[in-house]
């Protein structure tokens, strides 16, 4: 564990999110809302889930008194969500850039979506959210293909490393 590795993952997450949001900007409302069998019922619901998870972990890290899962109440437009997701993605990157490496082993208390609390070390929660977002972005690729969107490109970590060199 070192700061360079964590800031690199945060930059990758922001880069990949920006590409995915660019794809989502290109689909219409029917594609956005189409019911498809996956972890979540649509592209919309999957995108809300990713943005919500990234936002809630920042809230847990900054000890927001009453964090709210965006996914439990979001009723805005696609553009509203993209604005929130962009801000959150950049916020996650800014947070890790400024978070002291000596705090990576500090415990973070979190609340499960269906109630109850848990605790992990910061580095574990950060690793989790990067992995979580990557997993669901992969689902978005499949969902986008299922609604006929094929203007896709690789957003994996190796592609990111090659791209930034």
Known binding positions: 49, 132, 136
Q: List, as residue ranges, the binding site for a divalent metal cation.
A: 49, 132, 136
Cα 151 from chain centroid (whole Å): 21
Closest CA relative to residue 27, chosen from 142, 151, 136: 151
- DSSP run (H or E) holding 14: helix 3-25
> Which residues are within 8 A (CB) of 57 and not within 5 positions of it... i.e. 6 or more apart?
92, 110, 125, 126, 128, 129
Closest CA relative to residue 36, chosen from 146, 160, 155: 146
């Amino acid at each position: 564990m070192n700061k360079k590795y964590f800031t690199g993952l945060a930059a990758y997450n922001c880069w990949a999110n920006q590409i995915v949001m660019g794809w989502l900007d290109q689909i219409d409302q029917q594609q956005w809302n189409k019911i498809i069998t996956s972890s979540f019922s649509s592209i919309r619901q999957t995108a809300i889930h990713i943005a919500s998870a990234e936002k809630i972990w920042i809230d847990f890290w900054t000890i927001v008194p009453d964090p709210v899962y965006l996914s439990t109440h979001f009723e805005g437009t696609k553009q509203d969500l993209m604005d929130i997701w962009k801000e959150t993605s950049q916020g996650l990157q800014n947070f890790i850039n400024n978070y002291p490496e000596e705090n990576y082993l500090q415990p973070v208390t979190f609340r499960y979506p269906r109630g109850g609390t848990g605790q992990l070390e910061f580095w574990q929660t950060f690793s989790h959210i990067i992995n979580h977002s990557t997993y669901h972005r992969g689902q978005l690729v499949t969902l986008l293909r299922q609604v006929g969107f094929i203007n896709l490109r690789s957003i994996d970590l190796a592609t990111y490393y090659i791209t930034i060199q």
